[in-house]
């Protein structure tokens, strides 16, 4: 059998579609926690550049960098005070230019966050808007009168707790904020706001970026009539008031589709036909909005939601349900999938498989990521098998985690520093005290411990992503699920109407039978965990999986 460490790449067949991002794998970098080069305990752009050779070794196609723009850091960069500059804590525009140059030299595309549904309250736009009800930017944000009793205009709630409205004494009105009060919501019903955001995006396209991840995009436009949200039909067991509402009026306004088309057209004109745009879509029923924003040729490249990164357990039926929502049809958009990111608990903890051997779950999920149709995102440290860190309350900095303590650990535990060197102080992340603690348990999983170990989780990720890159069916083929037991994730990838690749993963402890492949065809297991031999097995043992390729 060809083990993952022995895999030799084969030349891929010519891609049917030319956009680089179709079937791509992208590595998410949270810059505060990736690599610090100046000893202040916070990662920076120079640190990312320093580690790009490592990123390229993962066999990914690009990187997505979370916000590094000028910000007071109330929400750690997602409260943008200047869309067209780098916050000094991360470096300078020159540092960014060097990062892009090095990434491109290594064959890596560069995608950056764009936060278009809100700004910082320190942004010049908001400072101007709050001065008076009649000025050039007076309606660049969502302002509203109080109710006769002085209370907020409606019942909308903030994701981080409390009303989604804050009183501004200077203007004598309430302003909307879906997150912190320091993050006022932009009024995307105003075409001047949309134009200004597009110009900010073009600034970064001119500096060489290859794509945008559009943060919380469906929160950029709400019901102008400000109608109350109804109660969620089933709020039993929910711990956040925000989740107890059905956000039919505060999110995903229908007019946002026209804004999406305007942005997509402008960015493709500036960045080229295959410029990548992906929307993050939240909410209780995100899929219809995702399809709206991505269907056809005039809208965004892709979208992703919290279907996987918010799921609390590994479920084969759930994985199938989410993936099957994206049929290979032009009018249904193109999917992207992430198992972890900076906003949710790490998949190695959320989806821990009870009774599975150590490191087994991480490899099984890597198999699925390597084989699933769409764009796949790998969050920094996921390739090391990092688990969620329990950050004590006194060391937390995440406003959501602090506000919802003790019922929610918040986001800090997924944002702790990347462990590079197991023998160095702070695992090689920084010479100074890190902004969040380095988990001692992560030190054992450091890059230095795994880099030259062919049996490591890191080696498995590298091999799986290389297989995805080199096999045209895994990158560009259609996807069809094969029925099986409840613990089995099993699907074929079909290229030019021929089943060319197959992924089968058993998430349960008991052996399960596998459906027979087409008669008369030869299949070879190219990557597996928990198996012996290179023949396609009739039975898949508990907590095992494979990718097979038609030879």
Residue 451: which CATH number?
A: 3.20.20.80
Judgement on whether residues 58 and 200 belong to the same structural domain of the protein:
yes
Instruction: Specify if 133 maps to a domain.
Output: no
At 518 the pLDDT is 62
Q: Give mean pLDDT, residues 495-510.
A: 93
Secondary structure of residue 151 in the 3-state scheme = coil
At 9 the pLDDT is 31
Judgement on whether residues 487 and 450 belong to the same structural domain of the protein:
no
Judgement on whether residues 107 and 45 belong to the same structural domain of the protein:
yes
At 404 the pLDDT is 77
pTM of the complete model: 0.94
Instruction: Specify if 127 maps to a domain.
Output: no
Domain end among 468, 501, 534: 468
Q: 513: domain range?
A: 477-550
Instruction: Specify if 401 maps to a domain.
Output: yes
Instruction: Specify if 234 maps to a domain.
Output: yes
Handedness of CA 166, 170, 172, 173 (dihedral sign): negative
Domain end among 451, 468, 485: 468
Whether the pLDDT of residue 23 is over 70: the answer is yes
pLDDT band at 20 (very low <50, low <70, confident <90, very high): very high
- Is 483 considered catalytic here? no
At 167 the pLDDT is 98
| Structural domains of the chain, count | 2
Instruction: Specify if 265 maps to a domain.
Output: yes
Distance between CA atoms of 418 and 189, rounded to whole angstroms? Answer: 40
Judgement on whether residues 214 and 257 belong to the same structural domain of the protein:
yes
Judgement on whether residues 294 and 347 belong to the same structural domain of the protein:
yes
Q: Give mean pLDDT, residues 156-183.
A: 97
Instruction: Specify if 3 maps to a domain.
Output: no
pLDDT digits (tens, 9 = 90+) for 336-385: 999 999 999 999 999 999 999 999 999 999 999 999 999 999 999 999 99
Q: Give mean pLDDT, residues 284-303.
A: 94
Whether the pLDDT of residue 272 is over 90: the answer is yes
Whether the pLDDT of residue 551 is over 80: the answer is no
pLDDT band at 16 (very low <50, low <70, confident <90, very high): very low
Whether the pLDDT of residue 334 is over 90: the answer is yes
Judgement on whether residues 419 and 484 belong to the same structural domain of the protein:
no
Paired tokens of 524: 């070879």
pLDDT band at 529 (very low <50, low <70, confident <90, very high): very high
pLDDT digits (tens, 9 = 90+) for 533-548: 778 888 999 999 999 9
User: C-alpha dihedral over 289, 292, 297, 299, to 10 degrees?
Assistant: -60
Q: Residue written as tokens 């290594």?
A: 106
Whether the pLDDT of residue 491 is over 90: the answer is yes
E strand or H helix that includes residue 302: strand 302-304
At 2 the pLDDT is 30
Say which of 75, 79, 280, 382 is annotated catalytic: 280
At 534 the pLDDT is 79
* Least confident span in 108-112, 241-245, 429-433: 241-245
Q: Are 68 and 62 in contact (CB under 8 A)?
A: no
- Is 280 considered catalytic here? yes
Whether the pLDDT of residue 396 is over 60: the answer is yes
Q: Are 156 and 166 in contact (CB under 8 A)?
A: no
Say which of 61, 113, 210, 215 is annotated catalytic: 215
At 17 the pLDDT is 57
Average pLDDT, rounded, for the chain: 93
Judgement on whether residues 390 and 535 belong to the same structural domain of the protein:
no
Instruction: Specify if 22 maps to a domain.
Output: yes
Instruction: Specify if 419 maps to a domain.
Output: yes
Judgement on whether residues 230 and 304 belong to the same structural domain of the protein:
yes
Judgement on whether residues 398 and 484 belong to the same structural domain of the protein:
no
pLDDT digits (tens, 9 = 90+) for 24-47: 999 999 999 999 999 999 999 999
Judgement on whether residues 531 and 488 belong to the same structural domain of the protein:
yes
Judgement on whether residues 448 and 481 belong to the same structural domain of the protein:
no
Q: What percent of the chain has pLDDT over 70?
A: 96
pLDDT digits (tens, 9 = 90+) for 192-236: 999 999 999 999 999 999 999 999 999 999 999 999 999 998 877
Burial 469-497 (b: 16+ CB within 10 A, else e): bbbbbbbbbbbbbbebeebbbbbbbbbee
Residue 535: CATH number of its domain: 2.60.40.1180
Q: Give mean pLDDT, residues 122-129.
A: 98
Domain end among 439, 468, 497: 468
Judgement on whether residues 440 and 539 belong to the same structural domain of the protein:
no
């Amino acid at each position: 059998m060809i083990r993952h460490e022995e895999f030799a790449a084969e030349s891929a067949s010519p891609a049917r579609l030319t956009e680089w991002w179709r079937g791509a794998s992208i590595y998410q970098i949270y810059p505060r926690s990736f690599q610090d080069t100046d000893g202040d305990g916070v990662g920076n752009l120079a640190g990312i550049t320093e580690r790009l050779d490592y990123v390229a070794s993962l066999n990914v196609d690009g990187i997505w960098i979370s916000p590094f723009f000028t910000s007071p850091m109330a929400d750690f960069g997602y409260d943008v005070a200047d869309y067209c500059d780098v916050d000094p804590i991360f470096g300078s525009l020159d540092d960014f230019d060097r990062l892009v140059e090095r990434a491109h030299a290594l064959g890596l595309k560069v995608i950056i966050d764009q936060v278009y549904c809100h700004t910082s309250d320190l942004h010049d736009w908001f400072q101007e808007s709050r001065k008076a009800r009649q000025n050039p930017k007076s309606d660049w944000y969502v302002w509203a009168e109080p109710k006769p009793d002085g209370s907020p205009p409606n019942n909308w709630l903030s994701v981080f707790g409390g009303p989604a409205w804050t009183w501004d004494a200077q203007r004598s009105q309430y302003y909307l904020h879906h997150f912190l009060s320091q993050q006022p919501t932009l009024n995307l019903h105003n075409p001047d706001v949309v134009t200004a955001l597009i110009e900010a995006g073009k600034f970064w396209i001119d500096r060489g970026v290859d794509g945008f991840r559009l943060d919380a995009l469906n929160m950029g436009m709400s019901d102008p009539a400000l109608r109350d949200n109804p109660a969620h039909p089933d709020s039993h067991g929910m711990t956040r008031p925000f989740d107890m509402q059905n956000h039919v009026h505060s999110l995903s306004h229908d007019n946002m589709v026209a804004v999406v088309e305007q942005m997509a057209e402008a960015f493709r004109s500036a960045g080229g036909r295959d410029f990548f745009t992906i929307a993050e879509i939240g909410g209780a029923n995100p899929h219809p909005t995702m399809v709206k924003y991505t269907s056809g040729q005039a809208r965004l490249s892709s979208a992703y939601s919290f279907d996987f990164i918010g799921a609390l357990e590994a479920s084969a039926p759930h994985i199938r349900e989410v993936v099957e929502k994206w049929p290979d049809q032009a009018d249904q958009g193109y999917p992207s999938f992430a198992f972890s990111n900076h906003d949710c608990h790490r998949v190695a903890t959320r989806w821990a498989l009870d009774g599975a051997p150590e490191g087994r779950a991480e490899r099984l999920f890597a198999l699925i990521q390597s084989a699933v149709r769409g764009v796949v995102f790998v969050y920094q440290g996921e390739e090391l098998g990092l688990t969620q860190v329990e950050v004590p309350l006194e060391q937390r900095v995440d406003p959501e985690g602090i506000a919802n303590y003790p019922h929610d650990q918040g986001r800090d535990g997924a944002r702790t520093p990347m462990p590079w060197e197991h023998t160095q102080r702070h695992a090689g992340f920084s010479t100074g005290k890190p902004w969040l603690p380095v988990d001692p348990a992560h030190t054992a999983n450091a890059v230095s411990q795994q880099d030259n170990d062919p049996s490591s989780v890191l080696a498995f990720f590298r091999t799986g992503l290389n297989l995805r890159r080199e096999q045209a069916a895994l990158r560009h083929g259609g996807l069809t699920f094969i029925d099986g037991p409840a613990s089995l994730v099993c699907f074929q990838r079909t290229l030019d109407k021929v089943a060319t690749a197959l992924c089968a993963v058993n998430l349960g402890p008991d052996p399960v039978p596998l459906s027979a492949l087409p008669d008369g065809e030869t299949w070879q297991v190219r990557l597996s965990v928990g198996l012996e031999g290179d023949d396609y097995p009739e039975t898949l043992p508990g907590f095992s999986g494979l990718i097979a390729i038609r030879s």
